[in-house]
Amino acid sequence: MADANRCERCRKKFRYPYLLRRHRSRKTPCAAAEASPETAELEELCHRAIYAQKEQIDDLVQLVKLLIAALEKKSGVIADFQSELGGDKVSPCF
């Protein structure tokens, strides 16, 4: 799983384990990930994708990719979610 060095509270991913350990032992604990407008929209799109007709899937995938690009600029948190969208099938939310 790609979640090896990911903080389970804020979902931030770290390149090295020691960075995650340092992050976890901060004096001020990280805040749990808040739902940004993009995240809420992404969830909505994923939900729609589950029930979408085959011909709607491509549009939804495009929208999801745009949202992911916007989110990556902000945080880089869900970079590996994008690779799951690479194929021609849509994976359900997270």
Q: Is 30 in the site for Zn ion (CB under 5 A)?
A: yes
Q: C-beta of 49: minimal distance to Zn ion in Å?
A: 28
- Residue 57's identity, in one-letter code, is I
User: For residues 30 and 50, which CB has a smaller minimum distance to Zn ion in the complex?
Assistant: 30
Q: Is 9 in the site for Zn ion (CB under 5 A)?
A: yes
3-class DSSP state for residue 50? helix
Residue 11 Rama label (left phi>0; alpha psi -120 to 50; beta): left
* DSSP code, position 78: T
User: For residues 10 and 85, which CB has a smaller minimum distance to Zn ion in the complex?
Assistant: 10
Binding site residues, Zn ion, CB under 5 A = 7, 9-10, 30
